[in-house]
Structures are given as structure tokens and as C-alpha cells.
């Protein structure tokens, strides 16, 4: 990848600082409570890995994976469950971990599905929030950063399964790559 293709918008040290703050906040808010963190695969796995090392109270982790239906149905918010939880969340305090909230359709689907299982509480933490593109309002308790209306990669976020390994959040400038996202 050439340097000019990628522009860092959130450097490594800022991610580290914010993740530490979020971990401290969650540790305080959930002290003495039974906590399960649910990562939405695949994008959240890097954030989740760093976040749990900043959470200083006992907790469990689990994962859920979803896929969008084709483009036409996608507009309706239809999402398909690809991998379900292994844990039973009934009566538990649950926090969903997301990489980025864009339209809100994915999280809205997951949140509704999990609420049917009667958790004691259900909150959301997202590393990134792209508020401008929201189609469905979802209550988000903890936000890492608000990002502008541009496609971003790195720190778990991908473009066609690439760039997840970048240690920072970057935008890919110009050309086809960005265009592809606007066509979604
Ligand atoms: P939503 O359902 O529109 O809120 O989209 C959320 C999902 O789309 C996230 O979990 C990401 O996997 C993906 N996504 C949205 N925006 C971006 C981006 O800028 N970079 C990488 N993935 C994104
Ligand atoms: Mg993704």
C-alpha cells in the first residue's frame, strides 16, 4: 500500500488512550455486576481484544456474526444471523461491542434479537460512530470517536477483507476503493 493512498485519521496513541478511558468507564459502571461482552464479528475483534485488557472487573466474552442480505433487501434492514452466541444471556448484563455504527441497521437487528432473550441490561459500545448516515436510531451508551462521512479502515475494520491489521484508523483517499462504498 502506498503512503499516499491512506490517510491516518485516528493515530495509534489516540486509539490507545480512548480505549483505556472506555475500559475504565465500563469497569466503574459494571463493578459488582455479572457482565458479558458480545463482539460483532468480524470488525470488532481488534477493539474487543484491546478493550478487555482495560476492563478491570470479571467478565465473559462471546461473539455473534451477521451478514446483510443483498442490496435490495438491505435497505429494509434485513440482516441474517451467521453465528449465534454460545452463552445464555438471560438475566445477564450485556454490552455489545461494535467497530462502527453507520446506518444503524445491523445493530438495530442484533439489539432486537438479543432483547428477546431477556438480558438484565443491554448496552452498546462502538469504537466509531458515523452519525451522519444513520437510518435507524439505536441507543449507544459508549462511543469512542465520531467520524465524518468517509469510509474508514484499520484496527479491525476492512475493505473487502483487507486492512484489518492497520494499527490506526485511516481513510482511503480517492479512486475506486472509496467509490465502491458509496455504491453500497
Ligand atoms: P450499519 O448496519 O450500516 O450500521 O453498518 C455497520 C457495519 O458496516 C459495521 O459493522 C461494519 O462492518 C460495516 N461498515 C460500515 N462503515 C464502514 C467503514 O467505514 N469501514 C469498514 N466497515 C464499515
Ligand atoms: Mg465489515
| pLDDT tens digits along 34-57 | 999 999 999 999 999 999 999 999
pTM, two decimal places: 0.90
Query: What's the DSSP call for residue 87?
Result: S
Residues 5 and 171: their CA atoms lie apart, in Å, by 8
Catalytic status, residue 102? yes
C-beta separation of 128 from 154 below 8 A: no
Q: From ligand 1's centre to the CA of 177, what distance in Å?
A: 15
Going by pLDDT thresholds of 50, 70 and 90, the confidence category of residue 70 is low
Q: Cβ(157) to ligand 1 under 6 A?
A: yes
Which atom of ligand 1 is nearest to 151's Cα?
A: 19
Q: Cβ(119) to ligand 1 under 6 A?
A: no
Q: What is the mean pLDDT of residues 124-138?
A: 96
Residue-level pLDDT at 2: 47
Residue 179 clears pLDDT 80, i.e. is over it? no
Which position has the higher pLDDT, 46 or 5?
A: 46
Q: From ligand 2's centre to the CA of 32, what distance in Å?
A: 33
Residues 169 and 84: their CA atoms lie apart, in Å, by 28
Which atom of ligand 1 is nearest to 157's Cα?
A: 21
C-beta separation of 140 from 102 below 8 A: no
Amino acid at each position: 500500500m502506498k503512503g499516499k493512498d491512506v490517510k491516518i485519521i485516528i493515530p495509534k496513541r489516540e486509539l490507545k488512550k480512548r480505549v483505556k478511558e472506555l475500559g475504565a468507564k465500563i469497569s466503574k459502571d459494571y463493578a459488582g455486576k455479572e457482565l458479558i461482552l458480545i463482539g460483532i464479528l468480524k470488525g470488532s475483534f481488534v477493539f474487543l481484544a484491546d478493550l478487555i485488557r482495560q476492563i478491570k472487573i470479571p467478565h465473559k466474552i462471546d461473539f455473534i456474526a451477521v451478514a446483510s442480505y443483498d442490496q435490495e433487501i438491505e435497505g429494509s434492514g434485513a440482516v441474517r444471523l451467521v453465528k449465534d452466541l454460545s452463552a445464555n444471556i438471560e438475566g445477564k448484563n450485556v454490552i455489545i461491542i461494535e467497530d462502527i455504527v453507520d446506518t444503524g441497521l445491523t445493530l438495530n437487528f442484533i439489539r432486537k434479537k438479543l432483547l428477546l432473550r431477556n438480558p438484565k441490561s443491554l448496552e452498546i459500545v462502538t469504537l466509531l460512530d458515523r452519525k451522519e448516515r444513520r437510518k435507524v436510531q439505536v441507543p449507544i451508551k459508549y462511543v469512542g470517536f465520531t467520524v465524518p462521512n468517509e469510509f474508514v479502515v484499520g484496527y479491525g475494520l476492512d475493505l473487502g477483507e483487507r486492512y484489518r491489521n492497520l494499527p490506526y484508523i485511516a481513510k482511503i483517499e480517492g479512486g475506486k476503493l472509496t467509490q465502491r462504498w458509496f455504491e453500497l
